[in-house]
Chains A and B, each alone.
Chain A
Amino acid sequence: MKRRDFIKNLGCGAMGSTTLFSTLASLGSMNGALANNKFADTDSSDYKAIVCILLSGGLDSYNLLIPAGTGGADNGFNEYLGLRTDLAVQNANLLNRFTNPVHVGVRGKSSAYQAFGAHPGMPEMSQLFNAGKLAYMANIGTLVEPLSNYTDYQNNEKKKPLGIYSHSDQQMQWQTSVPQSRDAIGMGGRLADLLHACNDNEELSMNISLAGKNLFQRGKNYAEYAISDNINANNVGFESLPSGWSNSGLLTELRNGAIDNMVSETYSNLLQKTFATTTRQSIAAFDSFKEALKKVPSFTTTFPNNNSLADDLSAISRVMSVRNELGAKRQIFFVDFGGWDMHDNLVSGLNERLPMVSAALKAFYDSTVELGISDKVTTFTISDFARTITSNGQGSDHGWGGNTMVMGGAVNGGKIYGAFPQMDIFTNPVNVSFRGNFIPAVSTDELYAELALWYGVSPADLCYALPNLGNFYSYSANNYPLGLMNMTGGVSTIDRPQNCLVY
């Protein structure tokens, strides 16, 4: 039996468990029952991708987006400098200042300052911002429901995220957007649960990871397919037996066949069964991948060297370039670029790493322009948390709400969404610690809802994609959570067969 065939056959047994290729969906598409859920097959221009970049470790994002006002009505920079002391960029002239940033408040809250700039090491980001291709989220973070001030924060009736300052919890919650639970599946995984049927190739996951296993891409029915940054047609899959062995090709087939047979057996031990299933899925996926990767074109865009984020994003560009060969109309990518837990050496650390982010993101954007899909790819950064506004002498400790970036041709850029907090730990009502930690103004739900609607989730399915969203937003025509994404053409009206999720 060919590998692909046995996967189809075995898929039934795996139904209800997590599979890369939903048998339900592939059966559905075969008998036409779900045919109307397909995006128009003939329309190869129908493609959308979401790229999630996790800056793991907790980026000190109050040095990512920095108030730039130095007097009069807007004294943001001086207040920032006064509070952050040795951690601050020491001179406002060093900032990559934005040209007339537009501020978009959320739920009645707005930023404390007008003028802003990017970190001195991120000139490409202010270029993209000024060109309308990049937006910032100001004081965004994990929330179950809105919390207005310290009183709300202390109120036991209000639901709050678990483990607010813990790396593992906060990284998990940014990926699930369900901060009251440690059992939730990921936001990207839920999008795949809803929309995987749109893709022609059911054997290849909609969710592709450059960071191995991750929670963001884990859904009920779909999980990530992991690739490496040097992916090409020659390094996918199992190595062949040495050519020096007689009948090497035949023996390799024999060996692969034996592996296939063994992972296709029935296992009553669930650990064995899980291992076998993972192996089958990987084999199926790399078979598809190997063929498609032979078609990757050469790029004129150059990515920076010695920059692992750039390496990962470049691999994503190569995968997107063969999206038609892969039968992918919707894709979600996940990247982890860590090293931000800067309790020490924060200033030099940021000076070293933020330019890497900036250069990598710009090159990636340029590559999407080259592929003609810059308005079909939306990239955003997340991190565990922001960090304490005050210094520990060498760096900063764990915080909560912070600032992130959203990039792409479909982003209503040149704008700052949310409410950048007043740089004051004594009078600011959203500060919850003597070290300076802020209650997020914007919830991860509101950012993700914008992305979900843009990606093709119908308003009715938002309650599956984002179980807590109702605490922040309810859909009505032309009323979007933030106004972040260009929704020209309206939102999808096709409801997918998933019930609302409740945690």
Chain B
Amino acid sequence: MCLGQTVETLGQGNVKNISVTASSNSSNGIRTLLRDGYLPNHNAASRFLSQATLGPKFAEIEEVTNQGIEAWLNSQLALPNSFSIENYIRSISQSIADSLNRTPQTTPYTVQNLNLSDWYFDVAWFQGSMTSPDRLRWRVALALSEIFVTSRNSDFDGNPYALASYYDVLLDHSFGNYRDLLESITYHPTMAVYLTFMNNHAQATVNGNLIFPDENYAREIMQLFSIGLYELNNDGTEKKDVNGNSIPTYNNNDIAELAKVFTGFSWHNAEYLGDRNENELDYTYPLKFFPIDSSDAIRRPWKSNPDITNGHQPGGKTFLGTTIGQGRTAEQGELDVQDALNVIFNHPNVGPFISRRLIQRLVTSNPSAAYINRVATIFNNNGNGVRGDLKAVVKGILLDPDARECCKGDEPYKGKLKEPFIRYMNLVNGLNLTSTTGVFRNRMNEVYDKMEQRPMESPTVFNFFQPDYIPDGDLKKAGKYAPEFQLLNSITLTGYLNALDEWLIDNDPIDYSSYFSGETVKDAQEPEFDFTADYLLAGNKNLPQLLDKYNMILAHGGISETNFNHIKKAIESMPDIYDADGDFNETNAERRIRLTIFLMMATPDYLINR
């Protein structure tokens, strides 16, 4: 069945004022609209927004139908990053300190000495995602957080700033250049701690022990963040040698050599290589470079002959067929980092490797080779001779015919399973969860407890699911990928419906917590869904309209007529909205609406975003 709408070539240009109607089944919809200039109908707009946002809102769908997809996309790409998660946490922290300091304290509370828990990150993240106008940026940043993975399942498990500052880097670079992103994460303490090159040391004899540079980051920056394990063609397929075997991009020697590059880095305020951080906020400053390890002299000032060794490994390093750093001293070590990142950045694998991952996150689990090739070509050159322009790449991904034309061929493996976390964001956006004060306070516990996903909480550097995951059964027989299925099992499946039960049936979508003991409860920060506008659609007579509405918002018209009828039948068995006397029964209306949306979100039609 068709989702969204067929694109037919009717000409170019900006045709406005085409009448648009929503339909429960988009194959019945108007088919005269084009991505390049013509205006999409509601389902097509909703489908586009399901790829370009964390969850379409009705008003937004209207916007896209009025402006057209490309115009909306361009205005989004032009919006600056409007929200800093770190600053939001700092402001919460300041207000907590102010409140606590009203009672005289021996040592007054400050932003620096209040040790906040990691859930302040979740609160700030939710606030930003719900209130920022740069909706596309927030969607892309989530995708980046699942490629350039760091996670609170690590040394910084309780620290909101480590998560916030890193996520802000992803938001900042979502429409920037990949090379800058790579450099920013390399200099970020969150990455340095997560992949253990914080205080990494040149090969040396320290306290009589021979030690070697830590290889963790050197390996993962190549395997996961840039080039992958095998040489690729520009369309993402693996190159083969004469015997038909895949060609490894690097071996263990390349890793040991590259590991020498990422040596000599510590905290921004460290006194010496090997120093520890002082407080949570140290995670918000870029790393400081220590070419020389003089820790012995600083820590043991009484020694007449302290050990002075190289912090950074001087001299040449050969990896990926290139030698860098030859003849350089340890002091010139930061040039090694620049060179190494350039070598990685310019590897021909990066375009297809990163393009495939981004397409998988935003559009479909099994992009065609031609689709990857088109996007990788944009990565290699944005048209103005610039390599790595993520703005152009994102635009290329979302405007590509493979993303926009839904019905061509309609392959049996098209689309992707919606990530559990995205389903939650779909719900709160689609049902237009609104806070009267504009402030939300949401720890987002339930989505993680029940479905094991929440931003910056991957179990490992390999993300919640891996790009090449293939579930058993038909997809395996067809040799098709479905990464998100790796997170689907009997626990998370029942967990999903039980979480929906709490969010929808109990109308409790927000996990509120006090910031400090004795704080006045701020009900306005814990809003519920408001279904009153739909009450009159909940009766048997208008039920199809209710179904149409949420089918359009949540599933861009993708719910099949058969499932539509299963849901309708179930709801019709519930008490109607008018009682025997003909009086309107609010409770019945409310329950009918909640269960309708619950069942819609339980359909495979909704769950697979085609």
Residues of A participating in the B interface, judged by any CB pair closer than 8 Å: 14, 17-18, 56-57, 85-86, 163-168, 182, 209, 212-213, 218, 223-228, 236-239, 241-242, 245-246, 251, 254-255, 257-259, 261-263, 265, 267-279, 281-282, 285-286, 338, 341, 343-344, 388, 390-395, 397-398, 433-435
Shortest distance between the CB of B364 and any CB in chain A (Å): 10
Which one, A228, A237, A255, A391, contacts B598 given CB within 8 A? A255
A165 to B452, CA, bound (A): 28
Interchain CB contact under 8 A, B229 and A166: yes
Looking at B506, B570, B605, the one whose CB has the most chain A CB atoms below 10 A away is: B570
Total A-B pairs in contact (CB under 8 Å)? 207
Interchain CB contact under 8 A, A343 and B214: yes
Contacting residues, chain B, for A227 (C-beta < 8 A): 490-491
Contacting residues, chain A, for B206 (C-beta < 8 A): 393
Interchain CB contact under 8 A, A254 and B570: yes
Interchain CB contact under 8 A, A274 and B562: no
Shortest distance between the CB of A118 and any CB in chain B (Å): 24
For the complex of A and B, list the 8 residue pairs with the smallest distance between their C-beta atoms, beginning with the closest. A18-B472, A393-B211, A17-B473, A226-B489, A343-B196, A85-B209, A272-B604, A282-B490
Chain A contact residues, majority secondary structure? loop
Shortest distance between the CB of B484 and any CB in chain A (Å): 9
Residue of A nearest to B224 (CB): A168
12 A–B contacts, CB within 8 A, in A order: A17-B477, A86-B207, A226-B491, A238-B498, A254-B573, A262-B603, A269-B414, A270-B413, A272-B605, A278-B488, A343-B215, A344-B198
Interchain CB contact under 8 A, B215 and A398: yes
Stretch from B58-66, B390-398, B458-466 contacting the other chain: B458-466
A33 to B494, CA, bound (A): 36
Contacting residues, chain B, for A274 (C-beta < 8 A): 471, 473-475, 482, 485
Residue of A nearest to B462 (CB): A168
B19 CB within 8 Å of chain A: no
Which one, B196, B198, B476, B490, contacts A18 given CB within 8 A? B476
Interchain CB contact under 8 A, A343 and B472: no
Interchain CB contact under 8 A, B201 and A393: yes
Which one, A246, A254, A271, contacts B416 given CB within 8 A? A271
Within 8 A of A (CB), among B401-452: 412-417, 452
Contacting residues, chain A, for B595 (C-beta < 8 A): 241, 251, 255
Interchain CB contact under 8 A, B212 and A390: yes
Shortest distance between the CB of A319 and any CB in chain B (Å): 13
Contacting residues, chain A, for B210 (C-beta < 8 A): 85, 390-391
Interchain CB contact under 8 A, B480 and A270: yes
Which one, B195, B209, B214, B605, contacts A395 given CB within 8 A? B214
Interchain CB contact under 8 A, A275 and B488: yes
A275 to B608, CA, bound (A): 8
Given contacts A226-B491, A262-B602, A274-B471, contact A392 B415 (CB under 8 A): no
Interchain CB contact under 8 A, B219 and A398: yes
Shortest distance between the CB of B27 and any CB in chain A (Å): 14
Interchain CB contact under 8 A, B498 and A239: yes
Within 8 A of A (CB), among B227-256: 229, 252, 255-256
Within 8 A of A (CB), among B533-574: 560, 562-563, 566-567, 569-570, 573-574
Given contacts A165-B255, A398-B219, contact A271 B462 (CB under 8 A): no
Which one, B214, B486, B574, contacts A251 given CB within 8 A? B574
Residue of B nearest to A169 (CB): B229
B505 CB within 8 Å of chain A: yes
Interchain CB contact under 8 A, B213 and A392: yes
Contacting residues, chain B, for A218 (C-beta < 8 A): 472
A452 to B487, CA, bound (A): 29
A349 to B459, CA, bound (A): 18
Which one, B208, B219, B490, B505, contacts A226 given CB within 8 A? B490
Shortest distance between the CB of B169 and any CB in chain A (Å): 22
Interchain CB contact under 8 A, B604 and A259: no
Within 8 A of A (CB), among B5-34: none
Interchain CB contact under 8 A, A259 and B212: no
Interchain CB contact under 8 A, A265 and B488: no
Contacting residues, chain B, for A341 (C-beta < 8 A): 216
Interchain CB contact under 8 A, B460 and A270: no
A281 to B475, CA, bound (A): 17
Contacting residues, chain A, for B329 (C-beta < 8 A): none
A261 to B498, CA, bound (A): 18
Which one, A56, A223, A246, A398, contacts B472 given CB within 8 A? A223
Residue of B nearest to A281 (CB): B490
Interchain CB contact under 8 A, B608 and A272: yes
Residue of B nearest to A163 (CB): B229
B199 CB within 8 Å of chain A: yes
B271 CB within 8 Å of chain A: no
Residue of B nearest to A57 (CB): B460
Given contacts A271-B417, A344-B196, A390-B212, contact A262 B604 (CB under 8 A): yes
Residue of A nearest to B414 (CB): A269
A397 to B215, CA, bound (A): 6
